[in-house]
Amino acid sequence: MTTVRTTHLWPELPLAEWKDTYDTLHRWTQIIGKIKLALTPQVNHWWNSTLYVTPHGLTTLAMYYNNRPIQIEFDFISHLLLLETADNPTKTIGLRPYSVAEFYQEVMATLRSLGISITIWTTPVEIPERTPFEQDRKHKSYDPEYAKRFWCILAQTNRVFSEFRSQFVGKDSPVHFFWGAFDLAVTRFSGRPAPMHPGGPNVARFVMLEAYSQEVSRCGFWPGGGAVTAPAFYAYSYPEPPGFKEYSIQPTEAFYHAQMGEFLLPYDVVRTADSPDDVVMAFLQSTYEAAATCGKWNRDALERQTSA
């Protein structure tokens, strides 16, 4: 009999067990992400709008309203949303089972109580159900255990991705959380422009044109959805060069998902491995090599050269 190994650092996250919480939390993060989008100057590839992993959850980092700094953070240990400014006590909103509409109204009311009055586009993006936040009373689940498990995985993934990022000296992204697709990602760039992106479902084409204006090799962690029925690490290249999908990658359990157009590594392979870090790093490095080799990147100039 095979013994399943697990640790608290890489907990189980079966999609079916927390799907309702996932759907609700996805929309909550989009509300906070859109607030950040409204309060920050645009940065290339929309990097100004992303969230970042903290010791307790996810944060906007500092934003500014009329020169006043404000930060919003999801705390998945104490299960609070914290709204901090320089000139007021921290305001908190409890994370609990209540609807997207109620969460939206409470967040906006709390901002107004801090003297911050902003308007956001309330239609969710990159998901098929696009009920505006203020009307969404269907999604109202919050399981604190699974929210914490998700954060635990993000925290460890952030650590491994940061190590992977350090090996590249070309243009690359921070390790950040995209609230549109609900994934943690890091991206490397070849330094060449990309062909115009054809666009994607449930997102404006101008968003995709900015996001994919240059050739990329991107990897990330995603809790799953649609054609992917379990959490997974992913990697893809845009544009996808000839030979990419046939390239030999590691570990052996990773595979090319034709419908998604990307390599996938099931999270459970990582979670149950003797060395999860090594498994993730092998996936990241081999899929990057697939993109860089097949795409004829100038690897000598882009990769950190280590001393012998």
Kindly state whether residues 159 and 68 are assigned to the same domain.
no
User: Using CA atoms in the order 280, 52, 182, 185, what is the torsion angle rounded to 10 degrees?
Assistant: -40
Instruction: Tell me if 308 is assigned to some domain.
Output: no
The pair of three-digit structure tokens given for residue 272, joined into one six-digit string:
């149950």
Kindly state whether residues 97 and 187 are assigned to the same domain.
no
Is the predicted pLDDT of residue 8 greater than 90, yes or no? no
Domains contained in the chain, number: 2
Kindly state whether residues 93 and 242 are assigned to the same domain.
no
Instruction: Tell me if 10 is assigned to some domain.
Output: no
CATH number where 69 lies: 3.30.920
**pLDDT value of position 39:** 98
Kindly state whether residues 86 and 173 are assigned to the same domain.
no
Instruction: Tell me if 287 is assigned to some domain.
Output: yes
pLDDT, tens only, 9-47: 999 999 999 999 999 999 999 999 999 999 999 999 999
**pLDDT value of position 308:** 52
Kindly state whether residues 153 and 128 are assigned to the same domain.
no
Q: CB count, 10 Å around CB of 11?
A: 17
Q: What is the extent of the structural domain holding 97?
A: 15-135
Give 276-298 as a DSSP string: HHHHHHHHHHHHHHHHHHHTT--
- Asked which of 135, 167, 197 is the last residue of a domain, the reply is 135
Taking residues 48-61, report their average pLDDT: 98
pLDDT, tens only, 158-184: 999 999 999 999 999 999 999 999 999
pLDDT, tens only, 262-275: 999 999 999 999 99
pLDDT, tens only, 182-195: 999 999 999 999 99
Kindly state whether residues 111 and 218 are assigned to the same domain.
no
Is the predicted pLDDT of residue 1 greater than 60, yes or no? no
Grade residue 296 by pLDDT with cuts at 50, 70 and 90.
very high
Instruction: Tell me if 2 is assigned to some domain.
Output: no
Kindly state whether residues 109 and 184 are assigned to the same domain.
no
- Asked which of 93, 110, 135 is the last residue of a domain, the reply is 135
Instruction: Tell me if 5 is assigned to some domain.
Output: no
Kindly state whether residues 29 and 123 are assigned to the same domain.
yes
CB environment 51-76: b (16+ within 10 A), e (fewer): bbbbebbbbbbebebeeeebbbbbbb
